[in-house]
Amino acid sequence: MAIIEQLTQDFLRTKKLPHIWCPGCGNGIVTAALVRAIERADYDQRDVVIVSGIGCSSRAAGYLNFNTLHTTHGRALAFATGLKMARPELKLFVIMGDGDCSAIGGNHFIHSARRNIDLNAIVVNNHIYGMTGGQHSPLTPIGKKATTAPRGTLEREFNLLELARGAGATFGARGNAAQPRQLEQLITRGAKHKGFSIVEALSPCPIAYGRRNKLGGPVDMMKDLKENSISTERAAGKEDSELEGKTITGVIFNYEEPEYAAEYYHSIGKEIPVKSSG
């Protein structure tokens, strides 16, 4: 059986398909990269939990054949934290959209990073609230239009990875839907990291964001994503002026610090479970 068919059969709830995503949306590509990364990490399927909030990308939890938690808007990291503390042996991947993670869930995000709890956040950044009506999020670039910013937003966007780093996250990487193999590798590296990891996945939303901002169709948006990205290796040594308008992809930071669940179990004199009881 071809690899793709095997992955589909093993890791997707095919009865839940077809998915709800619009033609040209990047959510499916990011979801596929996550599936391949989990396969690559060689985890037992029963030990993997996908946690998501609310939004287009968060619908992925319904399609994935692992333990899944589809939670409330902005609260995915809070649910995941509770689960990780109770069952630290589990491998948790938390899928969030840009608004879900950095606005409604912003407080959970900075404190998850601060604790350095061993969760793997995958933030699908399409610069807009897609499902709830095209409102601007803290990751909508300044000047871009949204239903809540018809003349263009006046607010500067967060640099999500720098926000995470400043709050205490120990692994941060950025990829995009136009370069899915790199994205898969970054998610795998984040999964293997001990502590709070975040992978920002830039992804096109041609419907709620692209149309309103006249960015062309899905192919144009994909092309732009690819052409405007530069890897950390290629960016090294370049002047700021040469990087103007470019988005750096790859591992942006990677540190070692004590992990919260392990520290907690140690503080109460218990061994942290490392293997699932099944």
Summarize as ranges the residues that interact with ligand SF4 (CB under 6 A).
21-22, 25, 27, 56, 126, 130-131, 205-208
Q: In the complex with ligand SF4, which residue's Cβ is closer, 126 or 185?
A: 126
Cβ of residue 19: shortest distance to ligand SF4, in angstroms? Answer: 9
Comparing CB distances to ligand SF4, the nearer of 168 and 216 is: 216
Nearer to ligand SF4, 22 or 262 (CB): 22
Task: Output 11 or 21, the one with its CB closest to ligand SF4.
Answer: 21
What's the closest the beta carbon of residue 212 comes to ligand SF4, in angstroms?
A: 11
Q: What single-letter amino acid sits at 230?
A: I
CA 232 – CA 138 distance, rounded (Å): 24
CB of 253 to ligand SF4, least distance (A): 27
C-beta of 259: minimal distance to ligand SF4 in Å?
32
Nearer to ligand SF4, 22 or 69 (CB): 22
Shortest reach from residue 135's CB to ligand SF4, in Å:
12
Of 7 and 215, the one with the shorter C-beta distance to ligand SF4 is 215
The upper half-sphere exposure of residue 124, i.e. CA atoms within 13 Å in the direction of its Cβ, equals: 33
Shortest reach from residue 57's CB to ligand SF4, in Å = 7
